[in-house]
A and B are shown apart, each in its own frame.
Chain A
């Protein structure tokens, strides 16, 4: 039952995707099998119909290829003017994306999805333009031929023999909201072609002859039909999921695709993609390597492969393992894989007949999982082993110059010492030259040095001299031995050098990363984190760095190093792109590739936190290693940003908790201080009413007196609360008049005596006490509160009030002889609702008196402080200091 209910609930992820799509524009793709089937015509025809229905539909770009019947359809349709660009002295017209966005129609027609933009455009590819339009909320209609789909490109090449250059990722079509198939039987298409109704770009005409063969067209048509049918399937499944209709829609198939750096892997990935879309299965592509420090070429190759897989809609994972089969087995079990796809090269030149290939091992290991084997030939051209990597011209020059120099020097030295050293031993000197070359510039130099040594030694030192021929057979033998030894030593030394260089480089990177993360771990403030990151990246890559964070609606530079770097409007567009799309933008990327900056999103666990910019104008593109370093640093930064934000939130939470505590204190104080007098009054009144006649007269009087006293207590408490509220709300009206402090002191003592007649108060007021500036009633309340407080804690000793002049101020002190206050609590006693514990363990007072006293004194421009112990290790003294009234005030 529960399971049933669960299944009937709409899949929340699917609904989310749907709402995301609702704010996005809708993409409609007119899919054709080949050029000439009439996609543009069909699209425009439909656009016209919609326009007639009053829809806001605009043509962004439509290629009529000069055909009248198509051009006629454009009549009466609004067309966005094209952008004129000059590229290599040729005037070209391009689709104007900015004008289209500015016009912002409901629906925009943008023909030729697979088009490649002129260099310098915002995006290199038109499908990226369209992505941006959709993102702006514009519905887009576009057209493409099935051959441009990335996952089909190799298949199309093998069917038609034509290499497809303009490629559209499968995800574009997969994400399209609607795919319309524009179909034309091959025979009719060929007929149209013959009539000249199909436009082909000039350079394609020759290819067309091979291309437009019935067999090819039928195959392409089948591909297009099948792709559209797949789409219908997907839509059906989406619909079922969104509306929670039960059905056998989940195939539950999951493919595991194993790839390596070999050239066959491309084919493996493409084949797996087709298989996955046919099975409607999720697929996971895993790259397998044996060590983490695979050469730069290998890891670049793997990156490309996994990128391709992701574009085709796969999940990807990099795996480093010693035992591939075991690792594949583990992943397959964990991910509930139902089928495995793996490649097997057809001919392996150095295949070991005793070792089984990976596919064989897999087949042996898995008994319950289907294994697909993709066969093919390794194409030597596609993948170069690391040793064949290209050298820069400078490197090459050094590799040749150094062995020439070392062997030349050795020859000169040898000629100098040939009289005293046996010719045989001179060969040792040449070995030194070979090793030196190897150590200075690597293995190629060592090989060259070995060759040169062989020649020079023979030419200058072996009989017959100055001739490359050899007289004695044993010399030939030693010469061959020498060459072999030189080559071996040179190779070893060169290898050693490469390894040392590599590990030194790695150690440097690791050290830098370690120091960076240590630096970051010590910083909790966001600003510090960003600054550390910027300076670290600046020193690592030797280029300008900027970090932008969102705030107040837009991203703004938080840190830049050097600090005077600025970004222009185009840069900011790339920044926003990187931030909102969570992908790289700017220099050397798919978006705005010609600007000087490259921007990378900083991805934290809560989404994109900001954008990092690297100034790339003056430096070569990032190498594989640098890129990895950059990403490692960004990851560290993201963690630190996360942490900084957590710290900030934590502080906020703590503050909230504090205020909550205060509220609890307020409530407990209010409930106790209000309830006790109320309980007394209620009790006394009901007693009088119900039992009055049974109580003696003096008992009745006492009850009445208690009512009066408790009512007074309530009144004072409520007055205190009002005072506190006025202080806090800032609505306290403070008079600023000269007041005679002595008078106020006496009147507040009288008020106190009325409340507590038994209290003993000593007064000492300086006879010439000047007037102070302030509010007499506020000062009176302050002194009363201080006296009240003293009375609570004084014990039996008398309370002393002193008033003295101190420079421009008048100091009034109230001192009790109670137990005093521990120094750590002295700061807190003025806090609202802070109450010390009375001698009997019970909290005393309302916790407001001193707080109000401070509020009043400060509002009169004075200060108040507490000292403890006051006299002989006992007591507390409160000192109020108020400014003297000015002479004019005195005169008045």
Chain B
């Protein structure tokens, strides 16, 4: 049994994910918001000064981008599957392509395979243009 799964299923039925930060405190901390467009979960990380890693550039902390990608991948799987348990990250590999500017960041993910026990997911994060990702990730989640 998982409160997160139940909460997420209810949000899915209502197509209203505004309550998500209550289900995942860390998402609230990062300023994460979620919307769904055409069965694709769009995860947003609203800009805040506390997300900065480099004050000179300035640029977002790479760790916050990693977290955004991981959450985006997790939410996409949670959106697609019906199991009770919250998926657990086994491994995630992040490629950083561009530095993240001090502004809102978006991410979306594609489940390349959802098996009985493991899901393979690809996620991308961008700021001004989805065709120019600032970072991408490959992640594997344990489902059972």
A binds B: no
Listed in ascending order, the chain B residues whose CB lies under 8 Å from chain A are: none
